[in-house]
Amino acid sequence: MAQKFLTLGQFIIERQADFPYAKGELSRLLRDIGIAAKIVNREVNKAGLMDIIGDVGSQNVQGEAQKKLDVFANEQFIAALSSGGECCAIASEENDEMIHIESAVSKNAKYVVSIDPLDGSSNIDVNVSIGTIFSIYRRISLGGLATMNDFLQKGTQQVAAGYITYGSSTMLVYSTGHGVNGFTLDPSIGEFCLSHPDMKIPRDGVIYSINEGNYVHFPDGVKKYLKYCQVEEEATNRPYSSRYIGSLVSDFHRNMIKGGVYIYPSTAKSPKGKLRLLYECNPLAFIVEQAGGLASDGFNRILEMQPKSLHQRCPLFIGSYEMVKKAEEFMQKYSTPEVQ
Ligand code: AHM
Ligand code: MG
């Protein structure tokens, strides 16, 4: 009997009514992102065979060395989002300023997209999973070029968000605020097929995910929480397991499936943490909440933070509801937001 499957394109059409404003523009945007993801996936899979690994020799706005794949992925997503005509501007980790898409502006495009085209840069050259993270907002400015305010909306205003993980298989996971659905790329037909319908993150878990090499620089709340994770107690399944890939998307995705907490706190070196609010924390916070989990900066809900700049950084505690709550308890007891 022929196997039944639902492709991303079919699913988007079936769920058209779920999309805010339901005009088909957002569906088109998501399909464009899916196409760019397939092209990036093709290159990621060839890394090592082609001259695509290593540094370009330049730095991005955060002063980090740009990898060839970073730059390639950025170009692919910008091209895909530009060709559809639904997105009037993009904020990317790889570009200092927002990018205006003039052709879409003349068509009165209603959406702006924030994106980390290739997350987990330090894992690109060593064949470890990497990802893409994106966040979609409806613009609030009226006509003409997009403005900063279109991007500096609170995470609660996202109309859709998602991530792609280029791992042992390639998956695209997204939400439009009506639950979370995951699609696995079937390379034999070149389509993302629904494999993880209505994803829910376990309410509790036994995995904690943090770069413990920075321990000495962590706030006291995090230090004490880590000690809590390592203490033996049968009733709470402790000690927990430590798992840290160093690619946010991959660590997040594992925790979505198995239950767990991912923490990138403020450190003495980076008082605001390392991760970026617009295109790393907010989209994953939107997804985790839709899946029944939590995302916090240790004290406040990520989705309610007021962004002030495109590349703003933010501490992140994200994952299973009970684990994030417990980590927040330690932060509230042993740290203060001021010294975060
Ligand atoms: P990037 O966007 O430059 O790749 O940085 C973000 C990455 C995350 O994917 C990952 O969780 C974190 O940085 C790892 O940082 P560290 O090496 O400090 O643990
Ligand atoms: Mg990143």
| pLDDT over 50 (residue 19) | yes
Ligand 1 centroid to Cα of residue 88, in Å, is: 28
Is the beta carbon of 122 within 6 A of some atom in ligand 1?
yes
Nearest CA to ligand 1 atom 5: 120
| pLDDT over 90 (residue 278) | yes
Is the beta carbon of 129 within 6 A of some atom in ligand 1?
no
DSSP track, 8-73:
HHHHHHHTGGGSTT-SSHHHHHHHHHHHHHHHHHHHHHHBTTBTTSSEEEEE-TTSPEEEHHHHHH
Percent of the chain with pLDDT over 70: 91
The residues placing their C-beta within 5 Å of ligand 2, an ion, are: 116, 119
Ligand 1 centroid to Cα of residue 245, in Å, is: 9
Asked if 81 contacts 87 with a C-beta cutoff of 8 angstroms, the reply is yes
| pLDDT over 60 (residue 22) | no
| pLDDT over 60 (residue 244) | yes
Distance CA 130, CA 206 (A): 23
Is the beta carbon of 155 within 6 A of some atom in ligand 1?
no
CATH numbers and ranges of domains, the chain? 8-196 (3.30.540.10), 207-334 (3.40.190.80)
Q: Which of 45-49, 80-84, 228-232 has the highest mean pLDDT?
A: 228-232
> What's the mean pLDDT when you consider all of the chain?
92
Is the beta carbon of 248 within 6 A of some atom in ligand 1?
yes
What does the pLDDT look like over 26-55, one tens digit per residue? 888 999 999 999 999 998 888 766 665 666
What integer pLDDT is reported at residue 288 of this predicted model?
Answer: 98
What integer pLDDT is reported at residue 255 of this predicted model?
Answer: 98
Ligand 2 centroid to Cα of residue 206, in Å, is: 25
What integer pLDDT is reported at residue 124 of this predicted model?
Answer: 84
pTM attached to this predicted model: 0.94
Query: Ligand 1 test: best mutation among 114, 250, 262, 264, most atoms within 8 Å of CB?
Result: 264
What integer pLDDT is reported at residue 13 of this predicted model?
Answer: 85
What does the pLDDT look like over 156-203, one tens digit per residue? 999 999 999 999 999 999 999 999 999 999 999 999 999 999 999 999
Ligand 2 centroid to Cα of residue 121, in Å, is: 7
